[in-house]
A and B are shown apart, each in its own frame.
Chain A
Amino acid sequence: MVFTGIGLIHLTWLTLGWSKEAPLTETLPWIPAAGLNLDFWLDGPALFYTWLVYGIGFLVIQYAGHYMKPDDSPWRFYSVMLVFLSAMLGLVLARDFLLMFIFWEVTSLTSFLLIGHWHHLPEARKGARRALLITGMGGLSLMAGIAFLAVVMIQVTGEFSLRMDDVWAAREAISEHPLITTALVLMLIGALTKSAQFPFHFWLPGAMKAPTPVSALLHAATMVKAGIYLLGRMYPAFGDEILWLIIAGGAGVMSMLVGGYLAIVSTDIKALLAYSTVSQLGLLTSYYGFGFGRLESDHLLKLDLLLVASHALFKAGLFMLCGVIDHGTHTRDWKRLGGLRRKMPVTAALTIAGCISMAGLPFSLGFVAKKIFLEASAQLESAPFILGEALLAGSLAASVLTVGYCFIVAIKPFFGKPREQDLYDHAHGGSFGFLFAPGLLIGLCILGGLYVPALEKPIAALTNTEFYAYKSYFTIAWFPKIDWLFWASLIMYVILGPLILVWQDFFDAIYQKSGQAKPFLGFSDRFFDVWVANFAAMIGAAAKPAHHQTTLAILFGVMLILCGAAIATAPFPAISLPQPSLDIAVAAMLIAMAAAGVVMAVIKRRVYTRIISVGLSGLAVGAIFVVYKAPDLALTQLLVELAVLLMFLGMAARLKTIWQEEAAAIPRNKFAAGAAVALGLLAAGVTFIAASSEPSVTWSSRPSPEAYYLTNAFYPETPGAHSGGGNNAVNVTLVDFRALDTFGEVIVLVVAALGVFSVLMLRMRGRVEEPTITIDRADAKLFLLKILGGVVSILCAVYAVVLFLAGHQMPGGGFIAGLLAAIVVLPFLVTFRPLRDFYPHVLMGWGILAAAGIGIQPALSGEEFLKSAFGTFTIPIYGELKLSTALVFDIGVFLIVLAVTLSLMKLFATRTYKDAEEEEREESAA
């Protein structure tokens, strides 16, 4: 709420200083080489939508404070909500179609998360999946459309630009291009899916499983409007295409009809509102469609903003009221409610006011909107054939349906006799805070309707930019001209609307009779539950053979063919026997040791023998790293091997019998030996060629990266340039020069640890917690070992600190110190009671925060992300100490590695320990 509040204040300030002649623009280079920039602007429509996003976002978050209960994970909810709001803001501020697409996708993803917020409900998961599938598909289509548009733009104008104003300016030229219709259709599909337009309308009702604030914000006021917004941005470029009228107009009118019909037969008020949203968005879509062929003339199309505003206000308000009813009565089924006006008078009054606006009755913003719309549809003279007439008839019929469902929402729950006395007795209205947001929204809607003429100026100001020319085609006034449209409306409101209310049962009966083949919905169920599921199963079956060995064999085969061909054609370097030297002798000895370990691991049968053999070979490899002049690697390798060894042993304690049985039961794969020889030769060949070849790239103009890293590791080579301030070039490379890579890599670690954790959580679910164990009894025998272990642990801990601090100058650093510390801390974590329930995951978060936080600081002052700075301090006794901000980054790395390693090893150690205890207990019981 604070965020959006600040946003609102900032926005007010921006609005006051806003002028239509010079919209604010902001360009940040993104990938300048590819002509991609982060282009933002704040022109009229963008300003309008920004108000919409911030204003309704603010109210919805205020409302959510009353709606969400403390056990609804509100933190998760609000964070995703804010991500959504930011993405939506980016979407409307983007000046470039491609940039807009990126934010578009983010809104789809956050919508998925928000719909599925109550992920324990299968219906919510299903709704979220559907929404993601449909809007994701639409997003792909939009992307393809934008790609086609880019091709057209390059061919027509000769340069790559997807900036909206550039595209609009090139309108005449690009309309001749053969590919433009493809681009148009694909982009339109994107817009239609986002706005839940026919035939993609069915995801929206499923999305209503979301918490009501989400429905109000995403699926009524903002996200579904993104499709409409896109139409508005496309219109100046495509408005003269006949396909524009057919697709946008046709889909819009169909959505109005289908949505209206489904709304009438829904008994869940929220579902009813969802279908009414489909219908109302259809109105907006078709309104743009009706703009066909009027680009040149001044016309009423520019009033779209008024339509969007009125719908956003009353629909968000109605959704919130629906949430109030739900809270007050614990049902949203209007067939079970009635007479509530006595119990919740304010809610009733607000709902009725909202419905007046939704139905388009006079004295409301909805009335003005409906009037603008009907006039637009009546003036489709340029449409070919009878298309114009058909669309007009459809719009009128849909308006009747609209009036019908508005009457249902306004009257059924609040008037008449209570249908279920029990529900009625327990019903209660909402508090002031609960009703504040919907009240404000609907109040604005009515106020706007009463003072329509006052709206003319701001709308004119917002839309009177070059491409949004506005002329007072007709005066906006709340009193209608008395013409045929007036009479048509009158018949609609006074006769047909109430008739639908009375005959709702009749519609319902038809709907119920149609059974499984529910019109316009049965298809979607079949589509998702049968086709999509089958398709997924088919792909899964094709991609997943019975054993992973099959997959691996294919991979190895491809590798053998491709690399083998490359090696066969490459000139093989001359093989010269090495001069005998001490290094060679040491290396040969270590290799022999490692090879022996590997051979043992391959041929032996006992699980422990094989584990220790692999560990031995790993340690020998670590020693080879020393010969190869890589002390940091050697340290890391030794510690990792140790950790892996511990984990392997921990696991084997539990599973060794099963694995020995497995080895006895499954014969060795004979084919594997041949593959092993072939691939081994291949790997040896590739490595040897790589080691013997000179780099094919010559660094004539600039030094090679490694030379740069080495000469600038401590001091800058040129005065004032960047340097790392460390003597250990490997560590400086990791935490400074290539810190971004390191950052990505530690994130991979975190993901892996969380993956392990979630697999184990799956196992824990629904199980009785294993009893906590006492360890003193078992440890009494091991007193001496314990003392010794303690001493060694303390020494190791000290050494870990030294390794960490020295890391920038000498071998060591965050990775190594983290591994060592984890191995040291592990026994305490497992055996020390107060720490046993401590999950190291929280350390990961701190680590990421430290690493990213220190990285963002230079980025904020205009430097590169993660660029370091360092200073020299003199400390008594210790002497001169160089401290670099990279050290903080290294602390982040240290914390992450420590936490990841700990949480991984703890999982194995803890469970083994408990299992051994259990065995003991079972034995003593026997």
Chain B
Amino acid sequence: MSLLLSLFVGFLFGSAVYLLLQRRRFDTLLGFAILSNAVNLAILTGSGWSKETQPPILNNNYEKVKETGAYISTVSPDQYADPIPQALILTAIVIGFALISFLMVLAAELTQRESEEKESAQ
């Protein structure tokens, strides 16, 4: 799985680089959108995958230890997917969204202004 995903991340990343290096504004925007997906996937892939793990939703799998009053998870933490990269990526997705909106506005603004200048020059 990791191999498959790694190759896919490489593919996404390469495509993003290709678009970003074009001297066209619209291509840059698309490239950026793909790039943020590539990076998020790369982090998730880095956290590893195994067939047996469950999503990090605990479903009340707890047991109270009578002697100490402590709660012990009945499922070992190894049985869940790592929540940290997921939390990181979740915010990264939303921030990536804010960033691309900012880029879009800038690009739209520049494009519009240039075309208006061209019109007024004619």
Contact = CB atoms under 8 A, between A and B. Distances in A.
B104 to A, nearest CB: 6
12 contacts: A549-B22, A601-B30, A614-B33, A630-B55, A640-B93, A643-B97, A644-B97, A659-B26, A672-B22, A680-B14, A688-B3, A703-B77
Given A644-B97, A710-B77, 6 more contacts: A548-B28, A655-B108, A683-B13, A683-B38, A710-B56, A729-B56
Contact of A632 (B27, B72, B90, B105): B90
Contacts of A908: 104
A556 B21 CA distance: 10
Given A675-B21, A684-B10, A752 B98 contact: yes
A714 B71 contact: yes
B44 A680 contact: no
B55 A687 contact: no
Interface in A728-747: 728-730, 732-734, 738, 741-742, 745
A762 B105 CA distance: 12
A690 B14 contact: no
A713 B10 contact: no
Interface in A679-705: 679-688, 690-692, 703, 705
A598 B15 contact: yes
B94 A734 contact: no
A633 B104 contact: no
Given A552-B20, A679-B17, A714-B71, A730 B86 contact: yes
A633 B23 contact: no
A456 to B, nearest CB: 63
Nearest to A695: B48
A556 B17 CA distance: 8
Given A632-B86, A730-B86, A691 B98 contact: no
A617 B37 contact: yes
A651 B104 contact: yes
Interface in A623-637: 624-625, 628-633, 636-637
A591 B111 contact: no
Interface of A: 547-549, 552-553, 556, 575-578, 581, 583-584, 587-588, 591, 594-595, 598-599, 601-602, 607, 610-611, 614, 617-618, 621, 624-625, 628-633, 636-637, 640, 643-644, 647-648, 651, 654-655, 658-659, 662-663, 666, 668-669, 671-673, 675-677, 679-688, 690-692, 703, 705-707, 709-711, 713-719, 727-730, 732-734, 738, 741-742, 745, 748-749, 752-753, 755-756, 759-760, 762-763, 809-811, 815, 819, 897, 900-901, 904, 907-908
Interface string B49-82: 1010111111110100000111111000110111
B117 interface: no
A348 B44 CA distance: 75
B115 interface: yes
Contacts of B22: 549, 666, 668-669, 672
A578 B104 contact: no
Given A655-B108, A710-B80, A729-B58, A602 B95 contact: no
Contacts of B81: 628-630
Contact of B2 (A659, A688, A718, A729): A688
Contacts, number: 309
B10 A683 contact: yes
A607 B10 CA distance: 25
Given A659-B111, A705-B84, A602 B104 contact: no
Contacts of A644: 33, 97, 100-101
Contacts of B77: 703, 706-707, 710-711
Nearest to A745: B91
Contacts of B24: 659, 662-663, 666
A808 to B, nearest CB: 11
A553 B20 CA distance: 9
B17 to A, nearest CB: 5
A785 B11 CA distance: 40
A350 B98 CA distance: 57
A803 B57 CA distance: 14
Contacts of B9: 683-684, 687
Nearest to A652: B26
B51 to A, nearest CB: 6
Given A663-B24, A760-B105, A714 B86 contact: no
B81 to A, nearest CB: 4
B83 A709 contact: yes
A636 B6 CA distance: 22
A676 B72 CA distance: 49
Interface string B13-47: 11101111111111111100110011011101111
Nearest to A737: B87
A631 B15 contact: no
B21 A676 contact: yes
B17 A672 contact: yes
Contacts of A630: 44, 55, 81, 86, 89
A655 B60 CA distance: 52
Given A655-B112, A687-B46, A549 B33 contact: no
A610 B30 contact: yes
Contacts of A717: 70-73
Nearest to B79: A710
B17 A676 contact: yes
Contact of B101 (A647, A810, A811): A647
A588 B8 CA distance: 10
Interface in B92-122: 93-102, 104-106, 108-109, 111-112, 115
Contact of B91 (A587, A663, A815): A815
A715 B69 CA distance: 11
A916 to B, nearest CB: 15
Contacts of A628: 44, 49, 81
Nearest to B87: A733
Nearest to A577: B3
Contacts of B87: 730, 733-734, 738
B30 A685 contact: no
Contacts of A738: 87
